[in-house]
Amino acid sequence: MNMSEAIKAVDRLAVVGAGSWGTALAHHLAKKGLGVDLWVFEPEVAEQIRTTRENRVYLPGVRLPEGVRPSTDPAAVVRDQAVVVLVTPSHVMREAAGRLAPFLRPSVLLVTASKGIENDTLMTMSQVLEDVLPEDLAAHRAALSGPSFAREVAQGLPTAVTAACPDRRSALLVQHLFASPSLRVYVSQDLIGVEIGGAVKNVMAIAAGISDGLGLGHDARAALITRGLAEMSRLGVALGANPLTFMGLAGLGDLVLTCTGDLSRNRTVGLQLGRGRRLADTLAEMKMVAEGVKTTRSVYDLAKRLGVDMPVTEQVYQVLYQDKDPRQGLIDLMTRDLKDEIDLGPARAGAFF
C-alpha cells in the first residue's frame, strides 16, 4: 500500500483523553472530515459533549463537529482502530495504556501527544507504552509535539508541530493525517529528542513564570529560555537525541511559547510561586494538569542518574519540592562558578551549550 492509499484507508481514528489538548485535537481532526472516537474519563463531560457539542470543563466556547463521538468505554473507542492518539496526563499514561491493551489491534499506530517523563521509572511516554504493551502492540509509536496551545489550534490559528517516529513511513502518515491549512506538520525520526524537548520545556516554563512573578524583567526571562535550551540539549544528547532537534519546533519553538505565553499552565504555576503563593493552593485552583510540576522531579532525577548538569532544573526542583525561597534560587543561579558559554570539549561533543 502506497502512502496515498494508507492515508485514505484511515477515515476514523481514536483520541484517548478529553482534556483541553485532546479535545482540541479531536476537533481539528473532525474538521478535516475524519471520524473521531473520543475516550472521555468523566461521564458528565461525555454527556455534555454528546448533548451540547461542547466540552465546557476543559475547552469552553469551542463547538465540536458531529464527527466527534464521545464515550467512556475504552473498548468501544479503540477497538479495530488503525491509529490511536493518546492525550492523557503523563502520570496516568501507564494506567490508560494497560486498560486499552486488550482492545488494540496488533498493527495499531500509537501517537502520543502527552508531554512528560514518568516519575520513578524516568521513562518518556513512548517508552512507557513499550514497557506496558506487548511487542506487537508497541511496535509503531510516534509523538506529536511542538508549540501549540489547545485553544489556538481549536480556533484554527496558524500552528506548526513535529510528528516524530523512527519509522519514517509512520511519521509521514501522522503528518498527513494532522496537516491542514491551519496546522503545518513536519516530520522527524528523532523520537527521544522530540519527547525530551516536550517534557523539559515545561520545567523551564515554571522557571520563567517564577522570574516574571518576581518582577525580574525581560532580560532574566531571555536568559532562562536560553539556558533552558542548553539544559534540554544536554539531557537529550545524553539520551542519544540529535542535538539539532532542540533548535526545532519541539525544542526551541515549544520552549519559547511555553515560557512566554499567557495560556501556559506551567508558566502560570511559576508566576504564582514568584508572587508568594503556595504550590498546593495554586494547583488546587487549576482544572487542568500542569505537567511541569511532576516532570520537574523526573527531569531532576534523570539528570542526576546521567550526570548531566541542569542548574535551572535543580533550582525549580528545590522550589517545588524542598520549599526553597524563589529569590534564594535566583541568587544561587547567578552566583555559581563562572564558565564558558559553549563547551567544545570531547565530552560535550554534539551538544550546543
304 is catalytic: no
Angstrom distance (rounded) from CA 271 to CA 250? 23
Angle at 155 between CA 158 and CA 247, to 5 degrees: 35
Q: Using an 8 Å Cβ cutoff, are 79 and 108 in contact?
A: no
d(C-alpha 316, C-alpha 296), whole Å: 7
DSSP assignment of 231-282 equals: HHHHHHHHTT--GGGGGSIIIIIHHHHHHH-TT-HHHHHHHHHHTT--HHHH
Encoded amino acid at 299, one letter: V
Maximum alpha-carbon separation in the chain:
61
Contact between 299 and 293 under an 8 Å Cβ cutoff? The reply is no
- From 115, 201, 304, 339, active-site residue: 201
Whether the Cβ atoms of residue 318 and residue 294 lie closer than 8 Å to each other? no
The count of other CB atoms within 10 Å of the CB of residue 74 is 19
The catalytic residue positions are 201
